Amino acid sequence: MTQDQPERRADTVLRRSAEDRYAPELAQLALADQGDRPPGWRMSPRAVRQFICGGGPSTRKFYGDDALIERSIVTLAGNRGLLLVGEPGTAKSMLSELLAAAISGTSTNVIQGTAATTDEQIRYSWNYALLLAEGPSERALVPSPMHRGMRLGQLVRFEEVTRCPPEVQDTLVSVMSEKMLAIPELEADAGILRARPGFNLVATANLRDRGVHEMSAALKRRFNFETVLPIADLKQEVELVRREARQELHESGVDMDLGEDVVTVLVETFQDLRRGATSDGMAVERPTTVMSTAEAVSVCLSAGLSDWYFGERKLRIESVATHIGGAVFKDKTEDMEKLRHYFQSVARTRAGQGPLGSVWKRFYAARGNLPRT
């Protein structure tokens, strides 16, 4: 690689955990915290809220509905798990990380749900060499993040819980209602792990995506659901998309400017399609694909790369039109129709009007770049 690649010191990591990044702030909050703490919690519910929504020494880390944060905290203090649902790219995982860092001081008890997640990954497994040598013992047991959270009284994060097969998901039912884990291989006392206060589950899930499984009613009952919504503010999202896309381009060795007007047109298109209506109330067809902020970043990234290597080294709206199809069209041809309809109804009327009129005009003119289905 080239030498302008940022040098990586031996003691740095690619990504630091939330409790590590915000350690001074968490310490300060805990020090000033006068409120009652639920058993096993590192700080009071109000201090947790302050950590996430800002106030005092804390900066705001989550943009959105503050009442949602309050509800989430209250849920975690009770005996039900918290299930954050919403479309991809709505910062559900970040929120779960922040909650775990503030409440338990650790956000690393994580189980990643996939179609291949097994029961052992949720409960425990064995170090087979020791198991064969010594027989079942606590030393031979390999604890899962869930096991660790229960033993230490900490929050456990379960990402993408609905990607697990239903029978694996249902392992959670007994853990959450009995708050204990049976380990029949071990002797009487050690054979039952009872959760310490402070243990609870923060899960994230996507309810509408492909490849996700239904949740059983029994499991649903053990969770309180909270819906995390996409960013509604255009300016905020444009800023975020530009920042993220520039960062990703930089990591791909490309340093280029992403014109605010071009990104604004892109993000506005995304917001309109996501909402099913333009900001001035005109209705548009909503594609079935998720028009997430992350997708907008990826459109910027591909368009940027193509302009860098094949074009004029600056982001053009025409390339955005070429690459936006990839974000909208995943597997349903009617989604492409919806995008085309958007060009006909919205882009066409915006062409030449308002401060971004010329960009919209070029965007509309480039509708031939949309992939044919």
Partner 1 sequence: MTRAPDTEGALADVGHVPPMDLNARVIYVPVRHHSPACARNVRRVLETVRPDAVLIEAPCDAEAHVSLLQADTCVPPVAIYSTWRERKGTDTHHHAAYYPLAEFSPEWVALRTAREIGARVRFIDLAYPDMVRSGLTAESGALLSLQSEDHFRHSQFLALAAQRVGARDSDDLWDHLFESAGAALDAATFFRGVLAYCACARADTSHAAMEADGTLARERHMAACIAEEQGRVVVVTGGFHTVALADTEPRRTVPDPSEASGSTLMRYSFEQLDRLNGYAAGLPLPGFYDALWRDEPTESIVVRVAREIRGDAGEPSVAEAIAAVEHARGLQRMRGHRTATREDVLDAVRSVFVKGSADVEGVRVLAAARRQLAGARRGSVPPEAGNPPLVTDFERLAAELRLELDDVRERRIVLDGYRKAAHRRCSRFLHAVRLLGVPFATFERGPDFAAGRGLDRIQEVWSYRWSPATESALIEASRFGGSIREAAAGRLEQAFREVESRDGRSARAATLVLTAAQAGLHARIPDLVPRLARLLAADAEFESVVAACAQLRLAHVSCEPLELHSETSLLELAVQAWMRAAYLLGAIGEVPEDDEETLLDALCSWAEAASAVDESIDRRQVLHEVLQSLVGRSSAGPVLSGAAHGLLHADARLSDDDVAAAVRARIAAGASVQSSGPRFLRGLLRTDRSCLWQVPALVGALDELLRVVEDDEFLALCPHLRLAFSALSPRETDRVAAMVGERAGRPGWLAGRVTSFTTADAMLGRRIDSLLSTQLEADGLSERIDG
Residues that bind partner 1 (CB under 8 A): 45-46, 49, 53, 55, 66-67, 70-71, 73-75, 77-78, 80, 85-86, 207-208, 220-221, 224-227, 229, 276-277, 281-285, 334, 337-338, 341, 344-345
Q: Which is nearer to partner 1, 55 or 311 (CB)?
A: 55
| Rounded CA separation 81/294 (Å) | 27
Q: Which is nearer to partner 1, 151 or 332 (CB)?
A: 332
Shortest Cβ distance from residue 310 to partner 1 (Å)?
A: 29
Q: Which is nearer to partner 1, 1 or 217 (CB)?
A: 217
Shortest Cβ distance from residue 339 to partner 1 (Å)?
A: 11
CB count in 10 Å sphere of residue 352:
11
Shortest Cβ distance from residue 100 to partner 1 (Å)?
A: 18
Q: Are 208 and 97 in contact (CB under 8 A)?
A: no
Q: Which is nearer to partner 1, 251 or 334 (CB)?
A: 334
Percent helix, percent strand, percent coil in the chain, to nearest 5? 50, 10, 40
| Rounded CA separation 69/72 (Å) | 5
**Which residue type is seen at 98?**
L
Q: Which is nearer to partner 1, 79 or 247 (CB)?
A: 79
Q: Is 285 helix (H, G, I), strand (E, B) or coil?
A: coil
**Which residue type is seen at 1?**
M
Buried b (16+ CB within 10 A) or exposed e, 160-173: bbbbbeeebbebbe
Closest CA relative to residue 161, chosen from 206, 106, 108? 206
* Count of all residues that appear for the chain in the document: 373
Shortest Cβ distance from residue 220 to partner 1 (Å)?
A: 5
Shortest Cβ distance from residue 280 to partner 1 (Å)?
A: 10
Q: Which is nearer to partner 1, 52 or 305 (CB)?
A: 52
User: Which pair of tokens denotes residue 79?
Assistant: 């005996």
Q: Which is nearer to partner 1, 111 or 351 (CB)?
A: 351
Q: Are 303 and 311 in contact (CB under 8 A)?
A: no
Shortest Cβ distance from residue 236 to partner 1 (Å)?
A: 17
Sign of CA dihedral 318, 237, 207, 278: negative
Q: Is 107 helix (H, G, I), strand (E, B) or coil?
A: coil
Shortest Cβ distance from residue 208 to partner 1 (Å)?
A: 8
| Rounded CA separation 51/46 (Å) | 9
Q: Which is nearer to partner 1, 172 or 245 (CB)?
A: 172
Q: Name the H helices within 135-188.
A: 145-152, 166-169, 171-178
Q: Are 186 and 131 in contact (CB under 8 A)?
A: no
Q: Are 360 and 261 in contact (CB under 8 A)?
A: no
Phi, psi (deg, nearest 5) at residue 21:
-60, -40
Q: Which is nearer to partner 1, 126 or 225 (CB)?
A: 225
Shortest Cβ distance from residue 325 to partner 1 (Å)?
A: 16
Closest CA relative to residue 339, chosen from 287, 280, 272, 283? 287
Shortest Cβ distance from residue 224 to partner 1 (Å)?
A: 4
Q: Which is nearer to partner 1, 216 or 358 (CB)?
A: 216
Shortest Cβ distance from residue 344 to partner 1 (Å)?
A: 6
Q: Are 49 and 70 in contact (CB under 8 A)?
A: yes
